[in-house]
Amino acid sequence: MDVGSGQGHVLSPPLYNIGTLSQYFWTTISIFFGYADDGSDLVSAPTISECNLKIRKVMAARQEWYKLAGMSLNNSKTKIMGFGFTPDPLDLGDVTIEPSSSMKFLGFEIQNNLGQDLHVNAVANKIRHAAAQIRANGRNFRTSDRRRLYMGLVQGHLCSNGSTYLPLLSKSESEILQTACNAAIRSVAKLPRKSWDISISDVRKKLNIPSVQALADKAILMQAWKFRSQFVTDVPGGPETRSRSNGNVPHPDQKGWLGKMIVTQAKRAYNTLPKECKECNNLKKAKLTIMKLIKANNS
């Protein structure tokens, strides 16, 4: 081989790390989001024509980067997507990339309208599959063991990218996920798949399994605590009020696209945190305080 290293060779790990890390410094045209070999370039401009021009420049620079690295761009896995507009098709010579309405990045289905129905339905299907696994593979286990399976197979799916989408769920989307989780809870408790005289909410509380809403509350409150230094610096000057003395910040603008941003929902949730949690710099203590707050709200 002229370039690279064989799989399993001693040089493979450092070569891989150097190659993937170098993607972060390859252009100033776009903002690069990457993890290992999964990356996305984000460009923005005030007009559609400028966006299309930047897309072509980014693609040309990306192809040059791969050429210098001794690799070739995988056209079949390359996608373009516009937010608020439809970008022009991208001609790469041997293939033309048409704009997509959605793309998957690090296991999360991103939609051009910032909706979440595709990801919610995908997670719900995974949870129902996990419910069948728990019922089949855990039939000879104790309830506590089947609960462990639930926390790994079901709650693992829910919390993967949970802070990205759980706080933004609509009521119907939350019900879709909770209904799928209820099927798994029935498997944990060895209940029939359908029944009219059993309260799954009571069973869930008895098993100490958090609801989808509780997980969403935890996710956004933890994000609010992590953003606390940013929120405090954004507070304008003024007289001391009861709200200021409690460490509250001005209510954010939630119109349009702003309402679909996690930072907006986190700023809104920040005011619900106790003052001692806002002033706490210890992660474990803050997490414990947030968990107590969620339990008190759901009791």
Residue 5 lies in a domain: no
Q: What is the pTM of this model?
A: 0.81
Q: How many domains does the chain have?
A: 3
Range of the domain at 247: 217-298
For Cα atoms 242, 244, 250, give the angle at the middle one, nearest 5 degrees.
115
| Contact of 216 with 166, CB cutoff 8 Å | yes
Residues 188 and 145 in one domain: yes
In a domain, 105, yes or no: no
Query: Both 126 and 201 in a single domain?
Result: yes
Each residue's pLDDT tens digit, 48-71 = 999 999 999 998 888 888 887 777
Give pLDDT, residue 76: 79
pLDDT of residue 18: 74
Q: What is the pLDDT of residue 260?
A: 83
Residue 55 CA to residue 229 CA, distance in Å, equals 35
Q: Flag whether 109 is in a domain.
A: no
Does some domain include residue 92?
yes
Lowest mean pLDDT of 1-15, 81-95, 123-137, 183-197, name the range. Answer: 1-15
Q: Minimum mean pLDDT among 92-106, 223-237, 280-294: which range? A: 223-237
The closest of 174, 171, 172, 150 to 162, measured between CA atoms, is: 174
The verdict on 225 and 280 lying in the same domain is yes
**Within-domain flag for 162:** yes
Alpha carbon distance 44, 50 (integer Å): 8
CA distances from 176 to 47, 122, 151 (A): 38, 11, 18
| Cβ atoms of 169 and 265 closer than 8 Å | no
- pLDDT at position 46 is 93
